[in-house]
Structure 1
């Protein structure tokens, strides 16, 4: 492709570059710095789609929403519900390349798996300008070190994602959303209790005294779960926008969090064991993924937040913040630091790809 050839020639110049699509995730990770933007939007389109084989291959600059519209016409979807940021305050529209590079998943992540679990294969352009192919179109094709999944969450520091092959799944036959009044501690206990039972729970969220649970699957299974769990049923016309807003981070909680950030607070994305009780963090909190993901908007100092989270066996990421000098991601230990640096050296020895977006020295 002429576009990839031009990009490879640009790499040979040895100047730092940062890969970008519509810029919907420019806020995420470390500072953009002075690296020259390199757009992936010319890498656009679905290269292959086999509904019967449950996979789709799309170029990096293709909007996630476009791919999902194609899948929906065949009754299929990306089960991990990646944020598309359509209409979100972050601006722009999420692309396939950005989806993989950021590694962000939506409400169904706890039951459907993360982005990396759905990446079957990937083509990337390395610092030498070589086009590398990894994986295939089925899970059993993956052998040895799975580089295609390694790219998920790498924020572009290892190379340019050119195209991705993803596993797709049928849309659920039936869905229902239930609402329960509960304080956070009771909600966490309930979510973990349900998580150990054969229930078709596909997403959950707690905020402001309300626990909302989505059921997805066969009609009989959903009906049985509704009967067992009780709660108040939310009409689909109201439930669907709620889950979409949570997925694309444009619902009331996230809009309020962004306003608070402008006033000096920070929105943290926290990962902890799902059984972790409510943590002593000041500020508004939203709980997802059966208790494993906690969103907290707080004016607390980064060191305080990370100390509390580390004590619970988790890690904290600065999601939205005006000042990220304390580091976007939790500091790595010596062994992980060595692994990260060696991977960076192998794929990008000159250090020109997205410098500082993942960690300051990568």
Structure 2
């Protein structure tokens, strides 16, 4: 066992002996995600550094407490990147938090999610055992792929100590096109139409600005493919440096559209609707126009938490689900609205079985993921 993992394992064993609940924390930039965290903080701050990096093999192995910004910089030196653009949500975002949260950025619909790039992982479970899963190449994945199950687990299965990730070369060419004015219905129609063509689509974003709809489309790929797509699609081509800053702001929810939901006095929460890309316009009474990403597959709405039933009903009717993604901390404890949509009975049983297997002493904050666990009763 890597000596760097010893203190974590010892802390977990001591917590098991004392029945002390724990909550795992990296940089704390995603504390808002999921139910309100509970338990003593178990920090991964000491687990830093890149254990191995083989640019020619497109694989990097990184300890969980390593800042995402540090990993991005190392990859950029080799002309490579994490193509799913994980949100940082602040300077302290870490690699372990990236996997535990399972969140992906603007390019997710075109390149895949976090879990698609996790090749292997080292986990310290609720018994204080250090376990390794997967490997450093795709062909090593066999049987039940535990390393990818960790993506989105929010620390309920154990401490992600180290991960091996697939990386990709930075695209040779990139362009951002803007189409305005463009209604929400027209944007969804165009995105669905373009999705059926051999175009180098990478990311999209639709929102309203000053009362008019704006659709932005990012193209990435070979120089010839990007230039041909620009000529074919039209629109206004934006400056690459300025556009890159805007896409990064979208990734980290720093665009002005998101600003009102994190103010202490805000009444509205930020809702994330995950839907089929072909879902039609969903008009929610009393809400402003949404911000739409992932070619129609991810739609953000601003509405009070008390509108949960109505919002989730609309999402279900369209074939998707809704997450109460973010709201002022002052309201988080008082609403009583679950952050995540209810799981089906079979899926809930799988979740609880995995948690029991990896954390039999119930040390880790499983309530972060499951607001109501019948086993608690």
**TM band (smaller chain):** over 0.9
Say yes or no: does 1:161 pair with 2:172. Answer: no
CA distance in 2, matches of 1:361, 1:303: 17
Say yes or no: does 1:267 pair with 2:270. Answer: yes
Matches within 5 A, 1:323-338: 323=332, 325-338=336-349
CA distance in 2, matches of 1:225, 1:119: 31
CA distance in 2, matches of 1:140, 1:11: 37
CA displacement at 1:229 relative to structure 2? 0.3
For structure 1, the 5+ residue unaligned runs are 87-91
- 2:20 is matched with 15
CA distance in 2, matches of 1:250, 1:93: 16
- 2:199 is matched with 199
- 2:8 is matched with 4
- 1:308 is matched with 314
1:301-331 Cα distance to aligned partner (Å, 9 max, x none)? 1111101111111000111123452201000
Given that 2:9 and 2:129 are in contact with CA atoms closer than 8 Å, whether structure 1 keeps it comes out as no
SS, match of residue 262 in structure 1: coil
- 1:280 is matched with 283
Given that 1:267 and 1:297 are in contact with CA atoms closer than 8 Å, whether structure 2 keeps it comes out as yes
CA displacement at 1:5 relative to structure 2? 3.7
- 2:242 is matched with 238
CA displacement at 1:3 relative to structure 2? 2.3
Given that 2:121 and 2:132 are in contact with CA atoms closer than 8 Å, whether structure 1 keeps it comes out as yes
- 1:223 is matched with 227
SS, match of residue 290 in structure 2: strand
How many residues of Structure 1 are paired with residues of Structure 2 in the alignment? Answer: 355
Give the aligned CA root-mean-square deviation in angstroms: 1.3
SS, match of residue 310 in structure 1: helix
CA distance in 1, matches of 2:291, 2:362: 37
Say yes or no: does 1:357 pair with 2:368. Answer: yes
CA distance in 1, matches of 2:7, 2:79: 33
Matches within 5 A, 1:111-190: 111-181=110-180, 182-190=182-190
**298-307 vs 240-249, which deviates more?**
298-307
CA distance in 2, matches of 1:257, 1:263: 6
1:143-180 Cα distance to aligned partner (Å, 9 max, x none)? 00000000000101011100000000000011000000
CA displacement at 1:355 relative to structure 2? 3.2
**221-230 vs 313-322, which deviates more?**
313-322
Given that 1:11 and 1:127 are in contact with CA atoms closer than 8 Å, whether structure 2 keeps it comes out as no
CA displacement at 1:279 relative to structure 2? 0.5
CA distance in 1, matches of 2:338, 2:131: 31
CA distance in 1, matches of 2:309, 2:131: 40
1:182-233 Cα distance to aligned partner (Å, 9 max, x none)? 1000000101111111100110000000000001111100000000000000
TM-score (norm 1): 0.95
CA displacement at 1:339 relative to structure 2? 1.3
TM-score (norm 2): 0.92
CA distance in 2, matches of 1:29, 1:99: 14
CA distance in 2, matches of 1:315, 1:10: 39
